[in-house]
A and B are shown apart, each in its own frame.
Chain A
Amino acid sequence: MTNVLTATKPPAMQTPIERNYLDVSGVGKAFRGVRVMDAMNFRMAKGELVSLLGPSGCGKTTLLRIIAGLMAADEGAVVLGGRNITTLPAHKRNISVVFQNYALFPHLTVAENVAFGLRARGTAKGDTAKPVAEALALVRMTEFADRPIAALSGGQQQRVAVARALVVDPDLLLLDEPFSALDRKLRETMQVELKAMLRDRGITAIFVTHDQEEALGVSDRIAVMNAGRIEQFADPSTLYARPNSPFVMDFVGLSTRLHGTVTSHDAGMITVKTAIGDLHARANFPVGTAVLLGVRPELVAPDPDPQMNSVTVPLRDVMVLGSKTVLHGVANDADRVLCELPGIRSGFSHGQTATLGWSIEDTLVYEVAG
């Protein structure tokens, strides 16, 4: 197991190899003649926790399998810790994988599952007891050591899968939708636990997930993938506050969406004509450009100041969720205004008209096909 002293160094102290610890460059892949990935480039530093986030079919699992060596890339290179592993078979890469269904060996006990990687590496049977016990202690599964896999709950199986992956001291840990089989409450607990464990031990890990909340919660950085390429690769707050495309804006969190056309452009400020009035945003688009405006719902509030963007819309729905209240305003068929207010707010009701507003600086604007 990794010594605590080798845990992540601050980026400034890292060597170039550590900064580009995993370097995927120019990777492409086709299945039966259909290109699913083209010229993929992906870099991460040692000790980072990164998520590959995207809808199913976006190529995130393909990328994970190429990195793990479970699938060969058609072209491009994979370098890990300065070592080119592109053509190395999976069993020689020292990259552990936690599978979506955990892939625990049903014919082995918990302890035998955890010992598998050590045995496969030639460790004598007698010498596996200590590291296995440590790994099981780490995931708090010590008392289950001799149980059969079938006797474990989903959460327990996940802990065993993590222990099995970590006991071999991998250079990289890949986790494929590791929480998707757990119920919501357990999922959140496990996310916090796992992140702390990986962080403490300085493990470099990639999570593959389609769940944006999970990605935001566990990662240092998130690569949002769509149709075989990375749309945006950034830390969670940048990704949320400044998504670089409508896809990212929609995939990471919810937003107000308003389509319109630029009617004037002056000193980095544009005026956009929408179905529910003129709005302003900081951008440089020529007059006549079709654009999509967006704003995160918690930045929208009722009774705006006069210098803010302001719209009056009928409310289609008012959701009181306890910690927050969400107002759903209708602009037209495709467009909506979302407003999220902290706590339980009264005074809004379905069918009523509300005036909502937000700061011009918070307005996101993207050029779209006319």
Chain B
Amino acid sequence: MIARLDRISLLAVPALVFLAAIYALPLMMLLAKSFQGPEGTGISAYIEFFSDPYNLNVLWRTIRVALLTTLLALLIAYPTAFAMARANGIWLTVFLVALVLPMSLGVVVKAFAWSILFRANGALNEFMQWIGLTSGPIRMMFTETALVVGAANVFLPFMVLPIYAVVRQLNASLPDAAASLGATPLFRFTHVTLPLTLPGVVAGAAFVFSLSISMYVIPSLIVGERQQTMSMLIARSFLYLRDETLGSTISAILLAIAVAVVLFSSWLAGRLGARQ
């Protein structure tokens, strides 16, 4: 076996060692802790977690926010990816810079910038009153809507880039072929463009969902402590409640969701890609 091992595959060794040491090992230790309560080993910590309506509320909020964030990012990213695939030269550069540059800006800076936009006497409220859409300021800060909008903004590149990569490889004559075979624009989209770009959508959605479900800084800045998410519960457990079992338990639940999403999406991407 060793003799037949592809030498190129040895290039993966540094990454594997790195991941094993920095990711897998501590994670296993964390998981082990979640099964060690004060009354010995067992799943009592999980039962306790799920029997508290507050925790269920936080869990549901976390998933809901992640789903809405993914959906919003997808709605914005999908057409953007097509525009980018059409663009070239200076315009492509403009797109990429516009997409990547904000990633170098910390979330804290962004959160302060959003508060200028979203606060009661902020730009957005003033504008809506000026055009007569609203008669007084609407509360936009510290709402779940603001969180979804903010998170979608931060994670947008992770949705755009995988879709862009797929769209750019799309054979441009396929929609033409479909049209010449009598397919209406809608039929072309549903039967050619969409199925062929779906692997990119799945990858992007998996990225954004995983990032959204585990985000910590963004919700703590945008919605504050009154609308906690799973990550905020984890931080609270370790840092303030000093309850490692609880923290490990919540981490394990969050991890399970993330693993499920990644496995499901790679299965889906494999199924979609298998025929290509």
Contacts and interface: CB of A to CB of B under 8 A. Distances in A.
A and B touch in the complex (CB under 8 A): yes
A97 B173 CA distance: 10
Contact of A99 (B173, B188, B191, B272): B173
B173 A116 contact: no
A68 interface: yes
Nearest to B199: A107
Given A108-B275, A109-B275, A116-B191, A91 B173 contact: no
A121 interface: yes
A168 B195 contact: no
A193 B191 CA distance: 31
Given A105-B174, A107-B195, A116 B181 contact: yes
Interface of B: 171, 173-174, 176-185, 187-188, 191-192, 195-196, 272, 275-276
17 contacts: A69-B179, A90-B180, A91-B180, A91-B184, A91-B185, A93-B180, A97-B180, A103-B176, A106-B196, A107-B196, A108-B275, A116-B181, A117-B182, A120-B182, A120-B183, A120-B187, A150-B275
Contact of A101 (B173, B183, B192, B195): B173
A32 to B, nearest CB: 14
Contacts, number: 82
* Smallest CB-CB A-B distances: 3 pairs: A117-B181, A103-B177, A120-B183
Given A103-B173, A150-B275, 9 more contacts: A90-B176, A91-B179, A96-B181, A100-B173, A105-B192, A107-B196, A116-B191, A117-B181, A148-B276
Given A91-B183, A116-B191, A120-B183, A107 B276 contact: yes
Contacts of B183: 91, 116-117, 120
A336 interface: no
B275 A96 contact: no
A106 B276 contact: yes
A90 B179 contact: yes
Contacts of A96: 180-181
Contacts of B188: 91
Contacts of B174: 103, 105
B192 to A, nearest CB: 6
Interface residues of A, number: 33
A164 B181 CA distance: 8
Contacts of B192: 105
Nearest to A121: B182
Nearest to B170: A106
B13 to A, nearest CB: 32
A96 B188 CA distance: 15
A14 interface: no
A70 interface: yes
A95 interface: yes
A16 interface: no
A343 B275 CA distance: 51
B182 A97 contact: no
Contacts of A119: 191
Contacts of B182: 91-92, 94, 117, 120-121, 168
Residue of A69, A95, A99, A174 ringed by the most chain B CB atoms within 10 A: A99
Contacts of B184: 91, 120
Contacts of B173: 99-101, 103
Q: Which of A70, A91, A164 has the most CB of B within 10 A?
A: A91
B207 to A, nearest CB: 22
B275 A107 contact: yes
Contacts of B195: 107
A89 interface: yes
B70 to A, nearest CB: 23
B196 A120 contact: no
